[in-house]
Amino acid sequence: MKESIEQVLRKLEGLNTLDLVQKKLNIRKSTAVKKLCQLRKLGFVETSGGGKQPRLYRVSRLKIKKTGNPGLYDIINQNSPIKLVKPYEHRIVGRKLSIEEGIVMAVKTENFRVVLAALALFNKIRDWSRLYHYAKKEGVRRKIGVLYDVARAVIRVRRMPKKTRKLLLRAREKGRHIIPLIKAKDFLDISREWKIYVPFNKADLARYKE
């Protein structure tokens, strides 16, 4: 007997791989692919992964209708080798989130994983004065400077103009912690120069070298 869309969605709701869909619906691989394709066209399926990572299908009983433009987690996942699980769907309405604003936003979250994953965004910066503008607005100029130096010590990043560096170094802001109460033992010279505690040890950044 043919199952209704509602029944299929109930069975598949959540995160699936192609194998899992085959097992849950007891169908052949080609039929599973067709089913997922149909559901995606109807707006019930979102795909992610592929390539080296397994292809994942997120099935929801609600039609996924996205408002606005990609938010912080989407920007990081698009541009960083370290991927993040979204704690919530973040969207920006009325404008697009730039890489520069994304870095500042990541620092403002004060979340270890988010800041770690955001280091890769330094290689995508196009407008350094825009980065400075957002950093000044949010009061995180020194933190941005120290994270840039840490990123440069581990991964390939674009060179920061001397003018921006000078301006960032000149900033007088409160607070020495990027992540509250976290102070690592590595990168002490960078930490001393910017007067900000680096939250990462070298081992934390090893994932960038994999």
Partner 1 sequence: MIGLEEQNQLFLLMGQKLKRKIECYVIGGSAMLYYNMKSATKDVDIVFDKEEDRNEVIKLLREIGYSERGIKVEVIYVKKKNVPVLLQKDDTRIDLFFEKIITTRLTDSMKDRIRQVYDFANLTIKVLAPEDIIFLKCATERAGDRVDAVNILKKVSVNWNVISEEAQLQTKLGEHLFPVYLFDFLYELKEDLKAEIPAGVLREIRKMAEDLLEEKLGRKEKKRKPGKRKVH
Q: Which residues bind partner 1 (CB under 8 A)?
A: 13, 61-65, 67-68, 71, 88-95
Query: Which residue lies nearer to partner 1 by CB, 138 or 204?
Result: 138
Q: How far is the CB of 195 from partner 1 (least distance, A)?
A: 26
The tokens describing 173, both together, are: 């802001």
Q: How far is the CB of 91 from partner 1 (least distance, A)?
A: 5
Cα(67)–Cα(94) distance, integer angstroms = 10
Q: How far is the CB of 65 from partner 1 (least distance, A)?
A: 5
Amino acid in the structure at residue 153: A
Query: Which residue lies nearer to partner 1 by CB, 89 or 189?
Result: 89
Query: Which residue lies nearer to partner 1 by CB, 63 or 172?
Result: 63
Query: Which residue lies nearer to partner 1 by CB, 71 or 199?
Result: 71
Q: How far is the CB of 97 from partner 1 (least distance, A)?
A: 8
Long-range pairs, 67-73, Cβ under 8 A, ≥24: 67/91, 67/93, 68/92, 68/93, 68/94, 69/93, 69/95, 69/96, 69/97, 70/96, 70/97, 71/97, 72/97, 72/102, 72/105, 72/106, 72/109, 72/114
Query: Which residue lies nearer to partner 1 by CB, 112 or 208?
Result: 112
SS3 assignment, position 14: strand
State the number of CA atoms in the 13 A half-sphere of 149 facing the CB: 24
SS3 assignment, position 25: helix
Cα(121)–Cα(186) distance, integer angstroms = 21
Q: How far is the CB of 72 from partner 1 (least distance, A)?
A: 9
